[in-house]
Structure 1
Amino acid sequence: MKLIAVGDNVVDYYDDRGEMFPGGNAVNVAVFWKRYGVENVSYIGIVGNDEEGEHIVNSLKLENIDVSNVRKMFGPSGEAVVTLDEHGDRKFVGSNKGGIQRQVKLNFTESELGLISTFSLLHTSVFSHIETELPELKKHIDISFDFSTRYDDDYLERVCPHIKYAIFSGGDFSKEECDAFIRKVHAAGTPNVILTRGSEGSLFSDSREVYEQGIFQTEVVDTLGAGDTFVAVFLKEYVQHGDAKVAMQKGAAAASETCGRFGAFGHGKKRESKITIS
């Protein structure tokens, strides 16, 4: 099985610990694919020419992710400042708005499109800023797209026709609101919808049936990356065998393991603070 993640990367800086961890939705999904048994995983993205970018790329290499098509640009890598509440829930309290990857757009060469077409699935996100590339990418591969909390109709109409899996954070939705929103996303053109809901678990709709999965109880150290873990493992399992219930169970179990450590997937590195917390 071959899977590829494209787009956003950051370092998550824990101000209270003076420590940075590699992360970002696309990076996290790539790492958890590899950790949970995908043989061939690649990542394409843009990093800055700084200590943070070097740490992101080196961490991916340690996870045996192919980073041969990562671009290094002159400028700062993406960074988010993180704090944890008394329950271990992560809060983002500052950022540099994506750093250099917000300013420099990912453009895919013909050879890269040929490479991408050899994979089973491409995962990207709202933070990757490749919406204009989706129509071309769709010609080559199925796409999963994490919208985070971007729910506006114009954006759904722009993205949904080009993707196979739409993923949203729906922790603030009631069950009734979830059901209505899932119908809206299907109507916009996406056949499969995933809603992660924090302590309420997750929902998945394949256009025919809505499946529900609770969380696995565990001692929580840090929730950062738990949703990305669920998504990665769910997609890996579902693409392989199409059994939604099994895929959701395995995703939930993996997410609970992520909650037991700091950072989405570890690789913490000490560093001084660079961003003023707003």
Structure 2
Amino acid sequence: MRLIAVGDNVVDYYEDRGEMFPGGNAVNVAVFWKRYGVDEVAYIGIIGNDGEGDHIVQSLQEERIDVSRVRRALGPSGEAVVTLDEQGDRIFVGSNKGGVQKQLKLNFTEEELEFISGYSLLHTSVYSHLEKELPLLQRHIDISFDFSTKYDDDYLRLVCPYVKYAIFSGGGLTKAECEALLVKVHKLGTPNVILTRGSEGSIFSDSTTVYEHGIVETDVVDTLGAGDTFVSIFLKEYISHGIVKEAMEQGAAAAAETCQRYGAFGHGKKREKKIAIG
């Protein structure tokens, strides 16, 4: 199996620990794919030319991710400032809004589109600013897209017709709101929808059947990256064999493992405290 993630990357900086960890939705999904057995995984994104960017690239290389098409740009890498509550739930308290990624956009040459078309699935997210590229990319590869909590109708109409898997963070939604979102997204053209709901587990709909699955209980250190882990492993397993319940079980187990460490996938590095960012 060959899978590719494209788009957002950050370092998650834990102020209380003075430590930064590589992350970002697209990066996290790529790493978990590789850790859980995908043969070939590539990542394409724009990363700053600073020490934080060096740490992101080095961490991906150590995880055996193909970063040959990563762009290094003059400017700061994306950064999120994170703290944890007493239950280990992560809270974002600041960011630089993606750093240099917000000033530039990814463009794809014919050669690169051919490279991408050699993979089975491309994963990206609302933080990757690829909305205008989705019609082009869809002609070359199936797409999974993480909307996070972006539920507004205009945005759904913009993205849903071009993606095979729509992913949402639904922890703040009621069960009725989740059901309404599933119906809306399917009507806009997306055949498969995944909702992660924190401690409430997850929901998956393939347009004909709605499946639900609970979490795997564990000793929680840090919940950062748990949702990305579930999505990554669910997609890998579902694409491999199409058995929904098994894919959800595997995703939940992997998410529980992620909760047992700091950072989405580790690689913590000490750093001097920076001036606070808004």
Q: TM-score range by the shorter chain?
A: over 0.9
Whole-Å separation in 2 of the counterparts to 1:210 and 1:81: 36
Query: Which residue in the other structure is 1:47 paired with?
Result: 47
Which deviates more, 170-179 or 25-34? 170-179
Query: Which residue in the other structure is 1:167 paired with?
Result: 167
Query: Which residue in the other structure is 2:249 paired with?
Result: 249
Query: Which residue in the other structure is 1:176 paired with?
Result: 176
Whole-Å separation in 1 of the counterparts to 2:146 and 2:232: 11
Whole-Å separation in 2 of the counterparts to 1:97 and 1:105: 14
Percentage identity across paired residues of the two chains: 75
Offset at 1:275? 4.3
Whole-Å separation in 2 of the counterparts to 1:273 and 1:184: 44
Whole-Å separation in 1 of the counterparts to 2:204 and 2:212: 7
AA partner of residue 17 (structure 1): R
Query: Which residue in the other structure is 2:92 paired with?
Result: 92
SS in 2 for 1:168: strand
CA RMSD of aligned residues (A): 0.7
- 1:73-98 CA-to-partner distances (Å, cap 9, x unmatched) read 00000000000000000000000000
Whole-Å separation in 2 of the counterparts to 1:126 and 1:272: 30
SS in 1 for 2:267: coil
Structure 1: 4+ residue segments shifted above 6 A: none
Offset at 1:277? 5.4
- 1:83-116 CA-to-partner distances (Å, cap 9, x unmatched) read 0000000000000000001110000111110010
Alignment check: 8 A CA contact 2:96 2:277 kept:
no
AA partner of residue 173 (structure 1): L
TM-score by length of 1: 0.99
Offset at 1:176? 1.3
AA partner of residue 77 (structure 2): S
Aligned length: 278
- 1:241-271 CA-to-partner distances (Å, cap 9, x unmatched) read 1111100000000000000000000000000
Query: Which residue in the other structure is 1:66 paired with?
Result: 66
5+ residue gaps, structure 2, are none
SS in 1 for 2:105: coil
Alignment check: 8 A CA contact 2:222 2:260 kept:
yes
Whole-Å separation in 2 of the counterparts to 1:112 and 1:199: 40
AA partner of residue 261 (structure 1): R
Whole-Å separation in 1 of the counterparts to 2:34 and 2:126: 22
SS in 1 for 2:108: coil
Whole-Å separation in 2 of the counterparts to 1:173 and 1:104: 33
Per the alignment, do residues 47 and 216 of structure 1 end up closer, same or farther by CA in structure 2, a change over 3 Å counting?
same
SS in 2 for 1:34: helix
TM-score by length of 2: 0.99
5+ residue gaps, structure 1, are none
Whole-Å separation in 1 of the counterparts to 2:114 and 2:211: 35
Per the alignment, do residues 275 and 161 of structure 1 end up closer, same or farther by CA in structure 2, a change over 3 Å counting?
farther
